[in-house]
Amino acid sequence: MALNLARRRAWPQQRSRRYPCDRKRWARMLARFANESLLSSKARTLKFVVSLALLTMPALAINDPYVAPSAAVQIAACITYNGQPVGGEQVYYTTYVTAGSGYHDHNAGRPPGSFNTPSGQTSITVVTSSDGCAYVYWYAPQAAGSHDIVGIPAIGAPAYLSFIVWAFTDRAPFVEMPSGSDYSLTGQTGDHLSNHWGTGNANARLQTIFSQFRAQTGAIGQINDQSLGWGGTFDLGPAYASASCPSYASQYWTNTCNHGEHRYGRNADIPFAGLGGQGPAFLDIATRNDGAGGGPILDEGNHYHLRFGS
Taking CB under 8 A as the criterion, the residue among 126, 143, 144, 159 binding another protein is 159
Minimum CB separation from another protein for residue 310, in Å? 11
Asked if residue 105 binds another protein (CB under 8 A), the reply is: no
The answer to the question of residue 94 lying near another protein (CB under 8 A) is no
Query: How many C-beta neighbours within 10 Å does residue 276 have?
Result: 16
Under the criterion CB under 8 A, does residue 36 sit at the interface with another protein?
Answer: no
Maximum distance among all Cα pairs of the chain, rounded to whole angstroms: 76
Residue 147: exposed, middle, or buried by beta-carbon count in 10 A (0-12, 13-18, 19+)?
buried
Site for another protein in 186-215 (CB under 8 A): 208, 212
Residue of 79, 97, 144, 202 interacting with another protein (CB under 8 A): 79
* CA–CA separation, 174 and 43 (whole Å): 39
Among 105, 225, 235, 290, binds another protein (CB under 8 A): 290
Residues numbered 214 to 253 that lie near another protein (CB under 8 A) are 216-217, 242, 244-245, 249
Write out the binding residues for another protein, residues 255-274 only, by CB under 8 A: 255, 257-261, 272
Question: With binding defined as CB under 8 A, does residue 157 bind another protein?
Answer: yes
Q: Which of 5, 30, 43, 281 binds another protein (CB under 8 A)?
A: 281
Find all residues with CB under 8 Å of 308, minimum gap 6, and list them: 198, 199, 201, 202, 205, 266, 267, 268, 290, 291, 293, 294
In residues, how long is the chain?
A: 310
The pattern of x and - marking residues 39 through 78 that bind another protein according to CB under 8 A reads ---------xx--xx--xx-xxx-xx--xxxxxxxxxxxx
Measure the CA–CA gap between 273 and 303, rounded to whole angstroms: 8
CA distance 68 to 163: 10
Nearest distance from C-beta of residue 236 to another protein, angstroms: 10
